[in-house]
Structure 1
Amino acid sequence: MKSENIAEVFSLDYEGRGVARVNGKTVFIKGALPTEQVSYRLTRSKKQFDEAETVAVIKASAERVEPECCYFNTCGGCVLQHVLPAAQIAFKQRILEEQLLRIGKVFPEQLLPPVYGMPWAYRYRARLSVSVNEGGRLKLGFQSRKTHDVVNVSNCLILPKHVSNMLPELRNLLQNCADRKERVRHIEFSIGEQVTVLNVCIQDEPCEKTKQALRQFSDGLNGTNVQEWQIWLQYGEGKAFPFYPEQAPQLAYNLPEFGVQMPFRPGDFTQINPHLNALMVSRALRLLDTKAGERVADLFCGLGNFSIPMAKQGADIVGIEGADFLTRRASENARLNNCGSKASFQTADLFKTDAAAVASWGVFDKMLLDPPRSGAYAVVQALHGLYLPKRIVYVSCNPSTFARDAAVLVDKGYRFKAAGVMNMFAQTAHVESIGWFELH
């Protein structure tokens, strides 16, 4: 074994790869952990750094565990399975702290304790890829860690058992569809309190034989007495619609602390981890500490995940979202939860927010931000003068853009009171975090 193929790993990067220095050059090594000595194989060489994969662990970290999933080395989904759960959370906390210091040049006055839940069977929304090779064999699963090929899986440990257990039967069903030249593009699962929806996304309207096979498959699932199932169909560029059975409970998730039930449809954005979502909403609302009669903005409000619990507490909520169908859905959810008079919703492109737009919204006492990975830069840049809310709680799924936006808020006179991580995506390197900002 050549000496240049051995490295001492000193850190993890934001993708969960081990970081080493070899001959003055940084090497990112998949599958390696801090304090480990590993042999590695280069997969890509660039001027500033190399990328590699672990061949063998010579000296193992105390935080290394045997991955539970038999697809760990091929599937691209759960890159931290070889790390103790507590160490995964510590890694995400460190990534957040490093990004705040390196990108934002800011740091909170207090680090919040992490929010975490079940390490497995937590994912209540998922998309599975489908591919058919030249020989006609169908594969159902997730994208490979190394290529864009589909890894054929017969179970998935982060899916609830009643979904994971039926994957082999589903593959057989889809194989029969492929044999009839039906082009299934992908499969989506959405799991609610009372029903699991299986959305079959197919190129063209399926033939009657395929429709009958789907009905029989649904009847078989509903005979297990685990949870009700409903199959939806989506073909071409059309919208998904309920196929069989026609009548089923509505998809919904609960926020029991606030007495809220949130109906949703397949394809709607909801947090994939409902248990962590409930804990996240609870933490966000405690930090924001809304009072009855306060005027509060919920930007990037989606279906009203934060808006409706705040409205139930008596605050006057204005939710703003970029898509009309979402603001309509949020309004309907507010009405269903008997707080329609306390919550109003409007549509606006928040990525084009300017000072005039902020002024048009009026003065808010407090604000909650829950942007996508690209962050809320336009919003925080546009806040000014009378339109600076006295308190902002920022929920982030990307520590880099959170750090950038936190720096803007600090420059505008906010104290960065607290921040912490929430392990929404256990076994993966994705970092969900929350921050609290208070105007001087």
Structure 2
Amino acid sequence: MSRGRNRGPKPHNKGQQEALLNLPVSKNEDVEVDIIGLTHEGEGVGRVDGYTLFIGGALPGERVRAKVLKVKKQYGYAKLTELVTASSDRIAPPCEIYKQCGGCQLQHWSYEAQLDWKRQHVVDNLERIGKLQVGEAEGITVHSTLGMTDPWGYRNKAQVPMGMSEEGGLIGGFYARNSHRIIDMDACLIQHDQNDEIVRHVKAIGRDLGVAAYNEETGEGLLRHVVVRVGFRTGELMVVLVTNGSKLPRVDAWVEAIRAQVPGVESICQNINTKRTNVIFGDVTKTLWGRDVIYDYIGDVKFAISARSFYQVNPVQTEVLYGKTLEYAGLTGSETVIDAYCGIGTISLFLAQHAQRVYGVEIVPEAIEDARANAALNGIVNAEFAVGAAEDVMPQWLEQGVSPDVVVVDPPRKGCDERLLETLLTMQPERIVYVSCNPATLARDLRVLEDGGYRVKEVQPVDMFPHTVHVESVTLLQRQ
């Protein structure tokens, strides 16, 4: 005999499910809705009788008609079909393939409105997730977002996936929204002009040489990505061909054609990636011609950039971001500083010019090799670097007598490891400077640090990626 409870008959279709849930909308229904906000992915947020609909392309302050595509218990998705009342901040996106490409999300919004929303996005996360008080007499100061004078052509690195057209020719561009279908393009408005020009040349060379692009579904084909890096200050150029195999047929013809068509190229590399993955780079990089690296500057610090180096893609705003980091660190020349998640030492070397001693830690061994090389390149002797997880290395430093006055953390999107936060509270530096690329995990971590005896003083959002939903910020915390 069955011991399970009788749950009654199951609904046979979506319509019956929606009726049982008593939802105010149903799939394929046309609705008219006011847009009250924007998600972290750039979708408009509307409500129908309290039920939330996410509507791509809609902007706050607009009234739109939309067709419901999908419903869930708490929320649903709808497609924008008509603007009833448009936002005064809505503009015509300048990119011809903006609606197809997934690279930008906010080109149809004025830049001033983007900056205002990015600040508010930080504020909302601090209040909702971090339960932190913003503004007013005793609250946290969240400054206006620091934007760009010219928010176009800011990217110093292009990573372009390759594919084949229906006619069998080599194409390259970016993925369509929410897919891996390649949109062929010759120009991207947020890329440096030289990046676009070089990619055009490389695609043409590949066509002339009869090169087949890699096919994700079959695992066959040779050319996976073309990666181009440009030094904004030096003008030096690097071209990387990411291939599905170690053998590059007609390699001399590739090198000769790239050198002839790309003035200023200093490095031509091949990266080998034979894995069935959407990760761009493989583990092996060969230099086909020229140097292994190109050089560029952040402020007056010179950096060697290899094919796989992590290096901020917006060098103009990187100086703004690091300048604010330096300001919040409040260095006088006598401090000991720890830079957690130090990467190739970009922040560490920036700070070392103003501190007595800087310790950088990073879990990626190749990044630490780059950091040490970059310190030597600039004659900086008061910075040292260790490989490992920050939450493991920092307690060892503490046992060795390293007592930091300032700790800078610049974690990935997932935020700080819980053990790292515990380590910070044990070390008790006078100031913590938190560089964040994700307002949600920033707010979560700030709550922990506030509960552990620190006070969040101010937050400065910085627009590193205009026309996208991404926002970076620098936060100053002081020990109470």
- TM-score of the superposition, structure 2-length normalised? 0.84
Q: Secondary structure at the match of 1:240?
A: strand
Q: Secondary structure at the match of 1:201?
A: strand
Q: Secondary structure at the match of 1:94?
A: helix
Partner of 1:48: 74
Residue among 308, 326, 330 paired with 1:267: 308
Identify the structure with bigger relative contact order (alpha carbons < 8 Å, sequence gap 6+): 1
Q: In the TM superposition, what is the alpha-carbon distance from 1:115 to its structure 2 partner?
A: 1.8
Partner of 1:111: 142
Q: Secondary structure at the match of 1:100?
A: helix
Q: In the TM superposition, what is the alpha-carbon distance from 1:357 to its structure 2 partner?
A: 4.8
Q: In the TM superposition, what is the alpha-carbon distance from 1:381 to its structure 2 partner?
A: 2.6
Tell me if the contact between 2:35 and 2:62 (Cα under 8 Å) persists in the aligned partners: yes
Aligned AA for 2:304?
Answer: P
Tell me if the contact between 2:199 and 2:226 (Cα under 8 Å) persists in the aligned partners: no
Q: In the TM superposition, what is the alpha-carbon distance from 1:160 to its structure 2 partner?
A: 1.1
Partner of 2:287: 242
* Rounded Cα–Cα distance in structure 2 between residues aligned with 1:401 and 1:235: 34
* Rounded Cα–Cα distance in structure 1 between residues aligned with 2:153 and 2:425: 44
- Alignment of 1:403 with 2:443, yes or no, is yes
Residue among 312, 322, 334 paired with 2:375: 334
Deviations 1:324-368 (A, max 9, x none): 22122212211221222x111111213x54995574363211110
- Alignment of 1:159 with 2:191, yes or no, is yes
Aligned AA for 2:175?
Answer: Q
Q: How does 1:131-146 map to 2 (within 5 A)?
A: 131-132=163-164, 136-146=168-178
Deviations 1:174-229 (A, max 9, x none): 3345556751111112111231111110112345435413421331122xxxx435
Q: Secondary structure at the match of 1:306?
A: helix
**Kindly tell me: are residues 297 and 411 of structure 1, through their superposed partners in 2, closer, same or farther at Cα, counting changes over 3 Å?**
same
Alignment length (residue pairs)? 428
Tell me if the contact between 1:377 and 1:405 (Cα under 8 Å) persists in the aligned partners: no
Q: Secondary structure at the match of 1:383?
A: helix
Residue among 195, 203, 206 paired with 1:171: 203
Instruction: State the identity as a percent.
Output: 28
Partner of 1:29: 55
- Alignment of 1:185 with 2:224, yes or no, is yes
Partner of 1:213: 254
* Rounded Cα–Cα distance in structure 1 between residues aligned with 2:159 and 2:108: 24
Bigger mean CA offset, 16-25 vs 97-106: 16-25
Q: How does 1:4-403 map to 2 (within 5 A)?
A: 4-107=30-133, 109-117=140-148, 118-132=150-164, 136-176=168-208, 179=211, 183-192=222-231, 193-209=234-250, 211-222=252-263, 227-236=264-273, 237-244=282-289, 246-247=290-291, 250-256=293-299, 259-340=300-381, 342-350=382-390, 353=392, 356-357=395-396, 359-360=398-399, 362-378=402-418, 379-385=420-426, 387-403=427-443
- TM-score of the superposition, structure 1-length normalised? 0.91
* Rounded Cα–Cα distance in structure 2 between residues aligned with 1:134 and 1:83: 34
* Rounded Cα–Cα distance in structure 2 between residues aligned with 1:135 and 1:46: 41
Structure number, greater radius of gyration:
2
Q: In the TM superposition, what is the alpha-carbon distance from 1:133 to its structure 2 partner?
A: 5.6
Structure 2 runs not aligned, ≥5 long? 1-27, 135-139, 214-220, 274-281
Aligned AA for 1:130?
Answer: M
Aligned AA for 1:113?
Answer: S
Q: In the TM superposition, what is the alpha-carbon distance from 1:157 to its structure 2 partner?
A: 0.5
Tell me if the contact between 1:77 and 1:142 (Cα under 8 Å) persists in the aligned partners: yes
Structure 1 runs not aligned, ≥5 long? none
